[in-house]
Structure 1
């Protein structure tokens, strides 16, 4: 199965954000190259919020190009078999933490945001990655800084999309523990 086909299945199974989900599906239907950075109409990306529920913290990266605190994530690569694998790869590379595990149940959110030309949109599929106990992070070349934040601190440092992702991740964690 291609990464494009996996993305379609993941999105069809995603039961929230119906309008945005349909926009992603329509994009993939119109653009066979819609998974790749070369697609000038925009492309899907995969990200993961690294979370340590025991400490009540999330790990954010100070993005080198954007100068913003964000979750780990980025472009899909030809070696990625699935969107989930792309999100986990990105989270591992950017956090330096081995042994991350994606929260079961698929993505926790979708977020569409503009980017500079030649591409115009990132259609981000967002997962949650659970950090193993005693995790030690390591800054990657893509980051200016990497820092753990208590849930309550996130609105003070990150934009609304990250705040929503933290809220949706915490809700997914709560559902998973029931």
Structure 2
């Protein structure tokens, strides 16, 4: 189920609860009632997401051991898409790691020095939930484009990635030359 589908289902459930309640809401104008339902829907989605965070920590205690990198990589940011149990993103000072799967795990890695361009975008609904997508284009032949979907605080994560890429290039004396 996508976030938009979950949002629509929660909103429908809230409207149904409002219709079935014995409260007299006739004093509220339609715009105020719509704003209230939107607020309740967003709050419900964020609460579900935070509950998924808690249950994800309880389900995988070995995740902390995997994150302690024996090669000295510094973890700059970790996160997962809103309402997701199967994707987990990690940005270190050397690479971007994407782990997917609930029972079986798949790992994708993109070295930061291979990253060419980073963009981030938000739809109106994503702006309300403070989430967005980050698109990463790289010279990696197996993953030329990666999208980190429904990331919380996408502009902050974008800045972390941008600085990490610049630092990795500087550390490895790597630069791009554009031809005209």
Aligning the two structures, in what range does the TM-score lie when normalised by the shorter sequence? under 0.3
**Larger % of helix: which?**
2
TM-score (norm 2): 0.27
Higher Cα radius of gyration: 2
TM-score (norm 1): 0.28
